[in-house]
Structure 1
Amino acid sequence: MITLPSHYAEVEAVYSQTLGANYRTIAITSAAPSEGKSTLAEALVKRAQASDKKVLLVELNTFNPVLKSRLQEAVNAPMPTQKSASQVAQSQAAQGQVNTGIINLNEQGYSVLPVSNDAMTIKKYREASLLIEAINQWLSEFDCIVFDTASLAMLNQHNIPACTVCQVCDGAIMVVEAGKTPANLIEEGIEKLVAKQVNIVGTVVNDKSNPSLLDEMIRESHKLDAWLPKMMSKLRAKLANVVMLNVAV
């Protein structure tokens, strides 16, 4: 998973309209899988933590549990200067926190609740009323909660519907990967959220597959380096200073 710095203007914009505007719960979802939900969720959590908020990142994506996978990697190959996820969990268990499943990542400054493999827990969170009960319990300890959900297109008995999570939150953000996500999936996703009367705060466009015109021109210029290396180098330097070229194509 790519790490998105919390100081980016885009992250600041999302934060100021959600957790920075006194939202206590926000869901990050998408129309299709692998569009950058987890990346945005983690960046938003770090931005909230920078404002001295006590934040909980909850993973409710059983289809692609990125957070759980990363914690498992920490267990298998812990850094020598810090505790592994399992050691953190054991330490919390000694303090009476064994049943919560929440792991305090002290080195990161926030807490996480990885997705559960327990069928009963998944079934519980599929019910809006029961999920609300869990949220109220978490909010007694945390200032705000960010949910990393499954995509709106993933509907099966083993998943927790993103619509349900979005419905019980103060607001929801949809991530869309430009140039990749089919328009019909975006429309269907929005329709699902509207049907559940979800407060759609906005949409974040992931342009990793949609390079700027500048990037494309620089890429093409490298093809002439074998014949005109100095000229192409000067050309790239000039192109980098043209603001109008920094637009997505």
Structure 2
Amino acid sequence: MRSSNPVMNSLSSAKGGAQRGAFEVGGPQGYQDPYAGYGQAPAQATGERPMTVDDVVSKTGMTLGVIVLFAVVNFGISLVSPGLAVLLTIAGAIGGLVTVLIATFGKKYGSAAVTLIYAAFEGLFVGGISLLFSGMLFGDANGGVLIGQAVLGTLGVFLGMLFVYKTGAVKVTPKFNRILTGAIVGVLVLAVGNLLLALITGANPLRDGGMLAIIFSLVCIGLAAMSFLSDFDAADKMIRAGAPSKMAWGVALGLAVTLVWLYTEILRLLSYFRSN
């Protein structure tokens, strides 16, 4: 049940705790396979119906809708006040990070408010970063084409990885998740180190559009794509285990985190090629 996505890990832990509580009511004799018959016990123990695929689809759709809405709002603001749009982009990035940390470490499992607040912050960030990377913030009329390509690329990767997961072409195992998590942590350390280097010396080798930056973006895109497999597997197992329906909000949050990361990296990569 472990996932490379910290939000999914938190949801899995919460679901696991609910299962243990439900199974311990009847003592050892009352134990049952958590995945047999979609495991209704955990949801019943909380007085809620079990989570379904429809719950995940609808909550994820609502979350993405909020992201798009606030991205459009920040785009509109940029036409009137570019400076304010930049401030909102920074606020969105910081607010989104803080919200994910609250959801992960504050055990706000299945909170609609936390998920939608994250979506609002990330919408501001996505809108601003799209304007910045595409050049539209600086008057590039062709920036909309770049944004459209990034959106199509993100959608294509998402659907492609969903197909890969459903066909079982790649098996999501504990070893797979451990390797993926280690790789993501390594990329994060490199990104933070590159940021500190840029602040201290002005050099920015991983984000300057050169060959090394292109390779780094391709690695990030690959890891984000693989993260979808881990996210799908965690969500699938939660549904089979009969997790409460409210947990669909947490699944939506986890998928949104991966989608935003993937979109940002694809857009950044396309901006490199256009600049070159």
What range is the shorter-chain TM-score in? under 0.3
More helix by share: 2
More strand by share: 1
When the two structures are superposed, what TM-score results if normalisation uses the length of structure 2?
0.23
